[in-house]
Structure 1
Amino acid sequence: MLSGFKKFLMRGNVLELAIAVVVGTAFTAIVSSFVKDVLTPLIAAIGGQPDFSALTLTIGASEIRYGVFLNAVIAFLMVAAVIYFFVLTPYEKLSARFVKQEEITHRECPECLSEIPKAAARCFQCTAQVMPLV
């Protein structure tokens, strides 16, 4: 029972996933700090506020801190953009290079729409003459 668990932990997928989680957490902390400490104070300075994250809305006795929420939204959008543009898009382009193109061996008969070999000169279903594809 323990040997199966050990094999599971030692598989490459589990280790890669663990590394990805650690790196992703560290990256998210960096982006969150950038948004909180650099980006939103610049936005707040343009808007005339001393601190963007200090923006609040008071309703009755409750205080809604929407500035902190906006910080989190901006951080999320930045992380998502970096993942999309610097990880997903290059990965898709790279993996598209290694996709093997499937060779076409059959085609449709233009008369009866049955499937015939691409080199056929006559359809075996309706006996219509077709131009062979090379």
Structure 2
Amino acid sequence: MGGFKKFLLRGNIVELAVAVIVGATFSGLVQALVADLITPLIGAVSGGRQPNFAEYSFTVNGSEFKYGDFLNHLVTFLVIAAVVYWLVVAPMTRLIGLFDRDRAATTKECPECLSEIPAEARRCAQCTSELVPESEKPR
């Protein structure tokens, strides 16, 4: 029983559980945003009609191919992907870029082993090669 308790309380399992819960909640949030705000906005722009392709189909040798449902799912996927990109991915990329820009000013890459070291380091901690600090470099 002790091993099972350790397994359940390991950091990775707890972090994974939190990620799944947050992901499911975020999924509901994005779906509500698209269904309640974005789709009606598309309907307003397209003259009050919301796109619905459910009835689109064709028949070949007596077999009916209902491609309209696929088109509905494809449009929904594209709208959700665009919302996630423009409201989550792009702002987070910009935010991470701001943090990396500030970090880049305080660190540099060792020319010998390519590890990240403080900008004012005189010797690399990984390969022990001698370095010239940024403040002592000629301009």
Give the alignment's TM-score, normalised by structure 1: 0.58
1:42 counterpart = 2:45:
no
CA separation in 2, counterparts of 1:103 and 1:59? 64
Q: Is the 1:118–1:133 Cα contact (8 Å) retained in structure 2? A: no
Partner of 1:84: 85
Q: Is the 2:30–2:84 Cα contact (8 Å) retained in structure 1? A: no
Q: Which runs of 5+ in 1 are unaligned?
A: 45-50, 107-115, 120-131
Alignment of 1:86-105 (within 5 A): 86-99=87-100, 100-101=103-104, 102-103=107-108
Partner of 2:138: 133
- The correspondence for 2:21, drawn from 13, 18, 21, is 18
Q: Is the 2:34–2:80 Cα contact (8 Å) retained in structure 1? A: yes
Q: Is the 1:105–1:117 Cα contact (8 Å) retained in structure 2? A: no
Partner of 1:4: 6
Deviations 1:51-107 (A, max 9, x none): 63101111121111111111000000011111111111111111112221034786x
Q: Give the deviation of 1:43 after TM superposition.
A: 6.1
Q: Aligned in 2, Cα 1:98/1:64: closer, same or farther, shift over 3 Å? A: same
* Equivalent residue letter for 2:4: L
| RMSD after superposition | 3.7
Q: Give the deviation of 1:7 after TM superposition.
A: 1.1
Q: Is the 2:57–2:65 Cα contact (8 Å) retained in structure 1? A: yes
CA separation in 2, counterparts of 1:118 and 1:30? 51
Q: Which of structures 1 and 2 has the bigger CA Rg?
A: 1
Q: Which runs of 4+ in 1 moved over 6 A?
A: none
Q: Give the deviation of 1:23 after TM superposition.
A: 2.8
Q: Which runs of 5+ in 2 are unaligned?
A: 112-130
Give the alignment's TM-score, normalised by structure 2: 0.56
Q: How many residues align?
A: 107
Q: Give the deviation of 1:30 after TM superposition.
A: 6.4
SS of residue in 2 equivalent to 1:98: helix
Question: Which sits farther off after the overlay, 20-29 or 61-70?
Answer: 20-29
Q: Is the 1:53–1:71 Cα contact (8 Å) retained in structure 2? A: yes
